Amino acid sequence: MAYPSTTTAPPVDLQITGLGGLGDGVGRLADGQVVFVPGAVPGDHLQVQVVGKRQGVLRGQLLAIRQPSQDRVTPPCAAFGQCGGCDLQHLSDAARLRHHQQHLQRVVGAALAVDAVAVQAAGHRRRARLHVRQTQGSLVVGMLTARSDQVAQTEHCPALSAALEAVRQRAPAALQDFLYLGELSLVLGSAGVVAMLSGKVRSSPPTARELSARLGVVGLRYRLGQHADQWGEDDVALPEVDAPWVVRTQPDGFCQASEQANRALRSVVAAAVRDAGEFARAAEFYAGSGNFTDLLLRPGAQVVAFEQDEAACGQLARAARDAGWSDRLRIVQGDVAAQLSAAAGSEVWLLDPGRPGAPELCAAAGRLAPRDVIYVSCALDTLGRDARTLAGHGLVPVQATIIDGFAWTVHAEAVVRFARQ
């Protein structure tokens, strides 16, 4: 029987048994139909109003919590539910990690144990893209709300590191005499916060030096209409990467958002590289500015690194030069899928794609025949799809770790090593 998909249907009692990919609680009606309920967590017993059906699944609105889940907690942020930055603050840290672990377990299969690494949620973000909007004569600076182009208003953002939050707090007063709409990107390195600002001005901005002092940053670049200026540091080095390898990024470039999570990621990837055994040639795909590249650059090994971002390739080349390892590394700039022949002969692959995953690359694993594939993923659904492709080429998961790298959200980082059977 099709459930009436209108608000005229009577409310129902619903036991929430899982979490959907967007963080909604999931339960089943007595007739077996699945309902997604925003704001619900596994273990909740709720009264729910079914409000519609989208793409074949029912959507429910939470009317009342009859019995809260023992994993339900009070969100630490006043803007929770409004802000698009964190979507799982109402679930305990332990339950969130368990959820991610079970999700990865489904991807790699029950036969393989999945390790899990927790990350301190409060203040974990060392990188942020903040939005600047004018509301009722004053500026607000923060994350966008989940479903609009407006900025979520909160006195204190608990996800940002203390240094980034301090800049966010100073920003309205620093920007309000000349800016009415913009984007402020921040990244924290050992020397302090470096910023990048773009947007629309109503009058001439101060110099980058003056604005850096107002914001309390160690470097700032801006482009505001026809006004452009730069002062101080232009990039940061990641403190968790040891010399002689130095990984640099800019506020608008990529780096792992949490230093603690990246420390864990690097150590899990290092172990996977070690367990992959001896190799003379390796390929790294989606290399960025070299966050994992040093882990492959063993004496005697040749590495080819693929990355499309020109600035990141420049930073990677600089890291190799400064470490004296340029002769071991070849950088291929451009779309991974268009340059795959450069990976021929590589026994070990390391890849860290964005959310779309790496379908073309995994399809090419049949032809290029790597022995080990170490896959770092921030999107478990596309990892699952790519894992099935790799399995079709005889590459099966042998190690799997989940890292709670995007604390307070439905996202997590996974590292899976696939080996040829």
Ligand X SMILES: C[S@@+](CC[C@H](N)C(=O)[O-])C[C@H]1O[C@@H](n2cnc3c(N)ncnc32)[C@H](O)[C@@H]1O
Task: Give the DSSP H or E segment for 214.
Answer: helix 208-215
Q: For helices 162-175 and 208-215, what crossing angle results, to 10°?
A: 120
**Position 47 contacts ligand X (CB under 6 A):** no
Residue from 161, 291, 382, 401 in contact with ligand X (CB under 6 A)? 291
Exactly one of 150, 176, 308, 326 binds ligand X (CB under 6 A); that residue is: 308
Q: Minimum CB separation from ligand X for residue 167, in Å?
A: 22
Should residue 313 be labelled a site residue for ligand X when binding is judged by CB under 6 A? no
- The 354-393 site mask, x for binding ligand X (CB under 6 A), equals x---------------------------------------
Helical axes 380-392 vs 93-108, angle rounded to 10°: 20
Query: Is the Cβ of residue 19 or residue 282 nearer to ligand X in the bound state?
Result: 282
Host H or E run for residue 48: strand 45-54
Binding residues with ligand X: total (CB under 6 A): 18
**What x-and-dash track marks residues 107-146 binding ligand X by CB under 6 A?**
----------------------------------------
- Among 240, 352, 386, 404, the residue binding ligand X under the rule CB under 6 A is 352
Nearest distance in Å: CB 350, ligand X: 8
Gap between the Cα atoms of 246 and 317, Å rounded = 11
Chosen residue from 115, 183, 234, 309 binding ligand X by CB under 6 A: 309
Q: Can the peptide bond before residue 244 be classed as cis, meaning omega within 30 degrees of 0?
A: yes
**44 or 307: CB nearest ligand X:** 307
Please state the closest distance from residue 284 (CB atom) to ligand X, in A.
Answer: 8
Judged by CB under 6 A, the residue of 25, 27, 42, 288 near ligand X is 288
CB 83 within 8 A of CB 154: yes
Task: Answer yes or no whether residue 60 interacts with ligand X by CB under 6 A.
Answer: no
Residue closer to ligand X, measured from CB, 16 or 343: 343
**Residue 406 binding ligand X, by CB under 6 A:** no
Terminal CA-CA length for the chain: 46
Strands (E) located in 146-235: 179-189, 192-201, 219-224, 227-232
DSSP 8-state class, residue 93: H
Q: Cα angle at 261 between 141 and 267, to 5 degrees?
A: 155
Name the region of 257 (left: φ>0; alpha: ψ -120 to 50; beta: rest).
alpha
Stretches 57-65, 72-80, 204-212, 302-310: which one binds ligand X (CB under 6 A)? 302-310
Write down the H helix ranges in 222-339.
259-275, 293-296, 310-323
Contact between 158 and ligand X (CB under 6 A)? no
3-state secondary structure 223-255: EECCEEEEEECCCEECCCCCCCCCCEECCCCCC
Stretch that binds ligand X, among 16-24, 59-67, 148-156, 284-292 (CB under 6 A): 284-292
Q: How far is the CB of 288 from ligand X (least distance, A)?
A: 3
3-state secondary structure of 77: coil
Among 13, 310, 335, 381, binds ligand X (CB under 6 A): 335
Q: Which residue number, 13 or 335, has a Cβ lying nearer to ligand X? A: 335
Distance CA 203, CA 209 (A): 17
Summarize as ranges the residues that interact with ligand X (CB under 6 A): 254-256, 286-288, 291-292, 306-309, 312, 335-336, 352-354
